Amino acid sequence: MSDKHIQWQPSNISKKDRHLLNSHKSCVLWLTGLSGSGKSTLAYEMDRLLYNQNVRSYVLDGDNLRHGLNGNLGFSPEDRSENIRRTAEAAKLLVDAGMIAIVALISPYRADREQARSLFSEGEFIEVYVDCPLHICEERDPKGLYMKARAGVIPNFTGITAPYEQPFSPEIVISSNRQSLQASASRIYDYLLVHQIIENHIPGISIE
Ligand SMILES: Nc1ncnc2c1ncn2[C@@H]1O[C@H](COP(=O)(O)OS(=O)(=O)O)[C@@H](OP(=O)(O)O)[C@H]1O
Ligand SMILES: Nc1ncnc2c1ncn2[C@@H]1O[C@H](COP(=O)(O)OP(=O)(O)O)[C@@H](O)[C@H]1O
């Protein structure tokens, strides 16, 4: 809650000025989906793709944020809401700084995602549903967490003992069990081009 004695300090440089400097617009790519659906893999692939096209981007990954900014939060519905609120505020700062913020959070509740969306202007919040059937995520189990959740070692595990609410109308749907990683990244890249958030840039430094 903001205090009535705290005033907003305006900047001399607008978001539009930063877009001019960067030669691209800014937005948030909000990747939501089950654990193991491929959010982090896709987020970092997008980051590399954008970097190689001279586009400023940065990944806010749930696991990483829970080591610092969100380190005091657990997995109750209230803590997940707070996790999403803080991450959305951090993404808003990156968008204000002229960057493409790539958020990879399970963000299982629709209401929390809608709250996050409400912080942004029209067209700035791009919800990407990383769709993957639970049984495939469980087969992948890249961190062995589903096994622990089934064994009762991890409580409130999304998809097993806690809910995941699918988005009703995400801007982009990725089926990570049917599309390759490269095809998924290209799909998002094309969305950014079509919506004139980025243009085809002259490639700069290349990261393999
Ligand atoms: N109970 C429970 N449920 C779901 N996930 C769990 C849980 N406990 C730990 N983990 C690990 O934490 C990562 C999810 O963190 P998020 O910040 O993305 O979650 S949330 O958006 O607040 O729901 C998640 O990362 P991803 O697998 O990358 O999604 C897990 O590695
Ligand atoms: N098309 C795909 N897109 C993303 N990940 C994929 C794909 N196919 C297989 N995978 C694998 O699925 C796993 C997804 O793990 P991760 O990216 O950590 O998911 P999440 O961040 O959603 O928990 C990785 O081991 C990745 O290699």
Q: What is the CATH number of the domain that holds 172?
A: 3.40.50.300
How many angstroms separate the alpha carbon of residue 116 from the centre of ligand 2? 24
How far is it, in rounded angstroms, from Cα 91 to Cα 78?
A: 20
Does some domain include residue 190? yes
Residue 60's φ and ψ, nearest 5 degrees, are -110, 100
- What's the pTM value of the predicted model, to 2 decimals? 0.97
Does some domain include residue 37? yes
ipTM over 0.90: yes
Contact 32, 167 (CB under 8 A): yes
Residue located nearest, by CA, to atom 15 of ligand 1 = 62
Domain count, the chain: 1
pLDDT digits (tens, 9 = 90+) for 91-130: 999 999 999 999 999 999 999 999 999 999 999 999 999 9
Mean pLDDT of 33-53: 97
Residue 31's φ and ψ, nearest 5 degrees, are -90, 120
55 in helix, strand or coil? coil
How far is it, in rounded angstroms, from Cα 203 to Cα 152?
A: 49
How many angstroms separate the alpha carbon of residue 182 from the centre of ligand 2? 12
User: 18 lies in which domain range?
Assistant: 14-194
